[in-house]
């Protein structure tokens, strides 16, 4: 667990303790609107409830309860049904007795989880999805994030036609933000803060804005990645220099600010999602997330379901908890597109040469001169306690001055370690990985000559320092921007499956570029995000599943442009079944978290790396109607009340004779749980022909270890476009589970001419 996660955990504990002391906090209250009187509006109905519970406190002459009056913060009407309110435990109990009440969950703070990446994805001007006839400009991408810097060149509207008539959104005024900041590219901007302030307290506006304006950088970066304009000669201090463009550069942007200095409150995120769907967005992009919880308790999952019901595609980041925490994948509901992060073939290499002649490759965005050969110091040769981590106050200037300092990861941000070295008079820094960090190499805008090194190079360097009889030395050389390295590779930080909540669905769904991504940046935020750093830039290079998510949001917009009548599930299927699993050297996509770069499995990359042009013409799609998702929840044994949180009212599960297994959800991948030899599991899938009207598909099977897959029928013959045909796959365990390890993997592929419709198979042995 990194410094940021530890800090967030401590903050959550403090906030929870504070809430317990006053016994009032914000709750997300889910309501069954079928119980509402027809002549009453939701606002009137909820206001009457709150008035009622406040009145009960007065009648009971409870002074403490009366002083903590219940208060509505938001009313939700589109993506979900209900409201957010400040309630005491007693008032919540009273509210739960009112007809129509379904459930209430405490609010919480969640955390925020491209010059070259379009080319790496195979997108080219005036070709395929970027052909002017396919690049419709009426698609609107809504991003729920830290806001936007509207004046940035990436958001200029030159050449765009008028705002689509379907758009119902607005550009809300606030400090340093006016309606005139919006244009034909940035069609809407709103800010939501009530939930945040109910948890944290009044916003300290020093260095930030109580408006849609971005003072963090994250929201501006993700917005421009998804749909920023074409900008020539973009770079970060000449690193990554080229043409910066959003994946769907003709799409419009709607920015919904729900993230503030300490995080993003669920109540604000839901208000933003609810409003975005009502405003008319086509795509929702959320580069944020929380912990792993049941779908009926997951407010983002509930609101995302409402969005999908309204035809909105929802893309979310998988999270940055890495391979250390197996099954930590966020946003794992099957109606959400869950995106992992991977490397492109662009790198920012450095050369670290040790005094014994050993040479290693690192990574850095430092743009200055190479260092000379300098003394190399580490741990007790640089200071006292925590000197090995280069935390504030741990380095002794007399021991550091003019030397290259080795710093371990943890406690404080990576770039902040370089700040500490510079303040102590150090001449350079080498940021080292542990075995748990693997070979992950972050390229970061260090404030002094500095580089990162992978775990194997770290071990060799520390061995050299420990065994050297003389003063160890090293030099750091900076090579700038290079192309053509082995890629894609899944990032070590990218969260892994399998999902604990829905193990019958492989998560994440796909992987996309998320490492060292260059995109727009506010001119008031330093590239390192440190107060100490006075540098200012127009573009910045950062990493995370937060960066891969808007890539897929942009791709969904492109596919929506080409196929306006496709459902969110069809778009998702197209991206999944056409994803590839080999790198540019024709080897399996590797996993950076593994010591020797072993192949990544579907619980790291899902169906594989997205391939936009193939996704625009996938041949077959696995479509899923909203009702199918509800039946899936029935198969998980959710109660009618729990399912009602998503269905917004009455829903009856199929009878026992009709009940389906969880694995029967018409998902474009297969996740099977096997328990014993000779046990057989049979699952059904239905595919829709979106390719050539007359086409025959034959099946190719790659059996997982220990399992035989039997597909019936082995051939699917379509006579028209839009025709649906079904098939079944039987999975037969050939060996005992204890002989096979935890997982085994395979695939089912339908082939017809140029089409290759692939579904990964993951078998979990129990």
Cα distance between residue 328 and residue 590, in whole Å: 20
> Catalytic one among 546, 590, 616, 669?
546
Alpha helices (H) in 23-122, listed in sequence order: 42-59, 63-67, 89-96, 117-120
Token pair 């190719």 in the structure block, residue:
700
**Would you tell me how many other CB atoms lie within 10 Å of the CB of residue 742?**
11
Tokens of 299: 């407010």
CA angle 729, 502, 661 (to 5 degrees): 40
Torsion of CA 93, 95, 96, 100, to 10 degrees: 180
Helix-helix angle 89-96:42-59, to 10 degrees: 120
Could you identify the residue written with the tokens 């220990």?
A: 706
Quick one: residue 164, left, alpha or beta (phi over 0 = left, psi -120 to 50 = alpha)? beta
Cα end-to-end span (Å), the chain: 28
The DSSP line for 460-525 is HHHHHHHH-SS--EEEEEE---EE--S--EE-TTS-----SS-TTS-SS-EEEE-SSEEEE--TTS
Position of tokens 């990162």? 452
Q: HSE-up of 422 (CA within 13 Å, CB side)?
A: 12
Residues sharing a CB contact under 8 Å with residue 360, sequence separation 6 or more, in sequence order? 351, 352, 354, 453, 454, 457, 460, 461
**Residue 252 and residue 159: Cα distance in Å, rounded?**
12
Query: What residues are paired with 337 via a beta bridge?
Result: 315
**Calpha distance 608→224 (Å, rounded):** 24
394/397 Cα distance (integer angstroms): 10
* Among 32, 107, 145, 279, the one annotated catalytic: 145
Scored b (16 or more CB within 10 A) or e, 618-640 reads bbbbbbbebebbbbbbbbbebee
Return the closest-CA partner of residue 406 out of 461, 368, 477, 470.
Answer: 461
DSSP state of 336: S
Q: How far apart are CA 163 and CA 168, in angstroms?
A: 10
Six token digits for residue 507: 């998560």
Q: Distance between CA atoms of 361 and 497, rounded to whole angstroms?
A: 30
Q: 342 an active-site residue?
A: no
Tokens at residue 564, please? Answer: 């306006």
Looking from the CA of 167 toward its CB, the CA atoms found within 13 Å total 25
Q: How many helices (H) and strands (E) does the chain have?
A: 18, 39
- Residues near 755 by Cβ (< 8 Å), separated by ≥ 6? 618, 619, 620, 691, 695, 697
Q: Report whether 635 contacts 23 (CB < 8 A).
A: no
Query: What SS3 state is found at 86?
Result: strand
Are 421 and 405 spatial neighbours (Cβ–Cβ below 8 Å)?
Answer: yes
Active site residue 546: yes
Q: What's the CA gap between 645 and 93, in Å, rounded?
A: 18
Q: Is 148 helix (H, G, I), strand (E, B) or coil?
A: strand
Burial of 384 from C-beta contacts in 10 A (0-12 / 13-18 / 19+): exposed
| Active site members | 145, 218, 546
């Amino acid at each position: 667990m990194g410094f940021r996660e530890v800090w967030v955990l401590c903050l959550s504990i403090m906030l929870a303790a504070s809430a317990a002391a006053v016994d009032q906090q914000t709750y997300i209250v889910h309501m069954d609107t079928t119980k509402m009187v027809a002549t009453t509006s939701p606002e009137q109905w909820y206001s009457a409830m709150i008035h009622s519970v406040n009145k009960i406190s007065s009648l009971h002459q409870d002074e403490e309860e009366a002083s903590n009056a219940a208060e509505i913060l938001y009313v939700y009407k589109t993506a979900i049904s209900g409201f957010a309110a400040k309630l005491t435990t007693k008032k919540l109990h009273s509210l739960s007795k009112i007809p129509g009440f379904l459930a209430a969950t405490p609010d919480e703070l969640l955390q925020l989880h491209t010059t070259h990446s379009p080319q790496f994805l195979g997108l080219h001007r005036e070709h395929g999805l970027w052909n002017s006839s396919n690049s419709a400009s009426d698609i609107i991408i809504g991003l729920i994030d830290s806001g936007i810097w509207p004046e940035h060149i990436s958001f200029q509207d030159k050449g765009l036609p008028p705002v689509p008539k379907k758009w119902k959104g607005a550009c809300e005024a606030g400090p340093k933000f006016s309606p005139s900041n919006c244009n034909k590219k940035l069609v809407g901007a709103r800010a939501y803060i009530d939930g945040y302030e109910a948890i944290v307290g009044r916003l300290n506006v020093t260095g930030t804005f109580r408006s849609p304006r971005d003072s963090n950088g994250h929201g501006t970066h993700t917005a421009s990645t998804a749909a920023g304009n074409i900008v020539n000669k973009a770079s970060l201090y000449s690193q990554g220099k080229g043409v910066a463009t959003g994946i769907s550069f003709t799409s419009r942007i709607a920015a919904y600010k729900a993230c503030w200095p300490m995080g993003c409150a669920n109540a604000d995120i839901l208000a933003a999602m609810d409003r975005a769907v009502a405003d008319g967005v086509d795509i929702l992009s959320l580069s944020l997330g929380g912990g792993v919880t049941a779908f009926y308790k997951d407010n983002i999952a509930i609101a995302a379901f409402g969005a999908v019901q309204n035809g909105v595609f929802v893309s979310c980041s998988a999270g940055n908890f890495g391979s250390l925490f197996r099954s930590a994948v966020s946003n794992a509901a099957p109606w959400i597109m869950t995106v992992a992060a991977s490397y492109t073939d662009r790198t920012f290499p450095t050369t670290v040469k040790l005094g014994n002649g050993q040479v290693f490759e690192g990574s850095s965005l430092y743009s200055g001169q190479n260092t000379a050969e300098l003394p190399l110091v580490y741990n007790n040769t640089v200071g006292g306690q925590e000197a090995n981590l280069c935390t504030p106050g741990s380095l002794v200037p007399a021991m550091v001055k003019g030397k290259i300092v080795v710093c371990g990861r943890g406690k404080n941000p990576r770039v902040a370690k370089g700040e500490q070295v510079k303040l102590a008079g150090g001449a350079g820094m080498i940021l080292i990985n542990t075995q748990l960090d693997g070979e992950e190499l972050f390229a970061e805008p260090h404030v002094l000559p500095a580089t990162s090194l992978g775990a194997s190079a770290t071990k060799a360097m520390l061995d050299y320092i420990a065994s050297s009889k003389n003063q160890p030395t090293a030099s750091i050389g900076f090579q700038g921007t290079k192309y053509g390295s082995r890629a894609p590779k899944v990032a070590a930080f990218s969260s892994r499956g399998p999902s604990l909540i829905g193990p019958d669905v492989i998560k994440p769904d796909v992987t996309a570029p998320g490492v060292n991504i260059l995109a727009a940046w506010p001119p008031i935020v330093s590239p390192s995000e440190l107060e100490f750093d006075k540098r200012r830039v127009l573009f910045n290079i950062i990493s995370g599943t937060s960066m891969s998510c808007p890539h897929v949001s942009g791709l969904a917009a492109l596919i929506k442009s080409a196929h306006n009548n496709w459902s969110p599930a069809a778009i998702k299927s197209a991206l999944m079944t056409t994803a590839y699993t080999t790198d540019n050297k024709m080897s399996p996509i590797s996993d950076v978290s593994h010591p020797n770069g072993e192949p990544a499995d579907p619980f790291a990359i899902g169906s594989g790396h997205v391939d936009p042009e193939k996704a625009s013409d996938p041949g077959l799609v696995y479509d899923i109607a909203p009702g199918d998702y509800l039946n899936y929840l029935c198969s998980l044994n959710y109660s009618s009340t729990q399912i009602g949180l998503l269905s917004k009212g009455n829903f009856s599960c199929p009878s026992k004779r009709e009940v389906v297994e969880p694995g029967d959800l018409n998902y474009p991948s297969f996740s099977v749980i096997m328990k014993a030899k000779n046990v057989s599991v049979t699952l059904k899938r239905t595919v829709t022909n979106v390719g050539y009207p007359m086409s025959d598909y034959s099946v190719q099977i790659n059996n997982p270890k220990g399992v035989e897959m039997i597909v019936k029928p082995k051939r699917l013959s379509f006579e028209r476009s839009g025709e649906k045909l079904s098939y079944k796959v039987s999975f037969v365990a050939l060996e005992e589970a204890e002989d096979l390890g935890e997982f085994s993997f395979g695939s089912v592929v339908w082939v017809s001419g140029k089409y290759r419709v692939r579904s990964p198979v993951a078998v979990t042995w129990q």
